[in-house]
Amino acid sequence: MQRGYPHKEWALLRREAPVFRYERPDVVPFWAVTRHADIITVSRDPGLFRSTKYLFVTVDQEGAPDDDAVILRQLLNMNPPEHGAYRKVVNARFTPRAVQKLAAQVEEVTAEVLDSLAGREECDFVTEVSAKLPLAVIAEMFGIPRSDWSLMFRLSNSMIAPSDPEYAGTRSIKEMVEQARLEFFQYFSQLVEDRRKTPRDDVASALANGTVNGEPLPQFEMLSYFALLIIAGNETTRNAITGGLYALIDHPDQMRLFKQNPSAMVKPAVEEILRWTSPVIQFTRVANADTELHGRKIQKDDILALFYPSANRDEEIFEDSGRFDIQRDPNNHLAFGIGEHFCLGASLARLELQSMFRQLAERFDYAELAGPIQRMRSSLVGGIKHMPIRYRIRPSTD
């Protein structure tokens, strides 16, 4: 997706073939599901549409969807009742109420990140701002020391965009993912050992000492859980921050409106940023039985890819869906998915985004692009790797 999301093509699919069979030599055949209502139908029925190792469709996929060769065994490829039992291990730490307790800390990290822009007029907004906040927040929640944050950043990039030449160099996709997983696992094994000896009040301790059906988590599932939370918390929120500022720069009327009253406007603005940027491109499901979706016959074991950014522009749900409107109400976007696998980190992501965009609106006198943006090559996350901006920022008010 180096040119950004194919919104024109998705609009065509929504209109002409909302459940479309995609077959090409280099990709495992799948159904592209592009309408809001159909994505809800599939996501809410994990009995009929299971999650498998095929988290998302991409080139270079091999094997049967359920073979044992999974890279990570974690929530996203588990099914009920196992899925619920695993989700319970950390769920209490991600509820809206639990997350609200982190508000002051998140505000502080946001201010610190933005302070680092003072005294200059240009920066790479991705590496200097968007990447820093989600990483700092999730690492704090895990109790990972600052000196190791850059390692987490590098490894999660490798897992999520192994085909991107900036991250891969000359290595193959498989080598990249395998190497990153190994390094993650080595790091987390030590963390687990430490938190078993001396538990603290952090997510790492909850996982290290957690149980599923009365038993400690098996090692592979436990290390996979660590990796999932670090990756999921990082890449997505980062791209909502970058894409959100890009959208505001691209729509100066909305930026002006937002700046008039950032505190009052921030909640709907963040929801619109989530709808507009929709950082996750797709997750897949596999049919458990022959069935029908939107008039198409789906066969047992067929793969369905749920295209969230397309659902979020569905003309039947969103009035004037191609308009970026920070006051949009209602805004029932599916950026966090829906149903059984609804994003565990949604409240945390919202908190981070609200903190970031309120402070940006208060502190940036202006911001504009200072060069072309560079996108990440990935069929899972619509990522921006670099976004040079020119800006003027006010000092922090507190």
Residues forming contacts to ligand HEM in the complex (CB under 6 A) are 43, 75-76, 87, 138, 228-229, 232-233, 236-237, 240, 279-280, 283, 308, 335-337, 341, 343-345, 348-349
Choose between 184 and 308: whose C-beta lies nearer to ligand HEM. Answer: 308
Choose between 159 and 335: whose C-beta lies nearer to ligand HEM. Answer: 335
Smallest gap, in angstroms, from Cβ of residue 137 to ligand HEM? 8
> How far is it, in rounded angstroms, from Cα 161 to Cα 176?
9
Residue carrying the six token digits 């921050």: 241
Choose between 240 and 393: whose C-beta lies nearer to ligand HEM. Answer: 240
Position 338: which residue type? I
Smallest gap, in angstroms, from Cβ of residue 171 to ligand HEM? 27
Closest-approach residue to ligand HEM (CB): 345
Tokens of 17: 């073939």
Backbone dihedral angles phi then psi of residue 385, each to the nearest 5 degrees: -85, -35
Smallest gap, in angstroms, from Cβ of residue 334 to ligand HEM? 7
Residue 68: count of CB within 10 angstroms of its CB: 8
List CB contacts of 162: < 8 A, sequence separation 6 or more: 168, 173, 176, 177, 180
Choose between 19 and 168: whose C-beta lies nearer to ligand HEM. Answer: 19
Choose between 91 and 172: whose C-beta lies nearer to ligand HEM. Answer: 91
Choose between 187 and 336: whose C-beta lies nearer to ligand HEM. Answer: 336
Smallest gap, in angstroms, from Cβ of residue 391 to ligand HEM? 23
Nearest alpha carbon to residue 144 among 88, 239, 227: 227
Smallest gap, in angstroms, from Cβ of residue 349 to ligand HEM? 4
Torsion angle, CA of 150/151/155/156, rounded to 10 degrees? -40
Smallest gap, in angstroms, from Cβ of residue 34 to ligand HEM? 15
In 162-172, which positions are buried (b, 16+ CB within 10 angstroms) versus exposed (e)? bbbeebbeeee
Choose between 14 and 238: whose C-beta lies nearer to ligand HEM. Answer: 238
Locate the DSSP E strands across the chain. 19-24, 27-33, 49-50, 122-124, 211-212, 215-216, 282-287, 291-293, 296-298, 303-307, 364-369, 374-375, 384-386, 388-393
Smallest gap, in angstroms, from Cβ of residue 345 to ligand HEM? 2
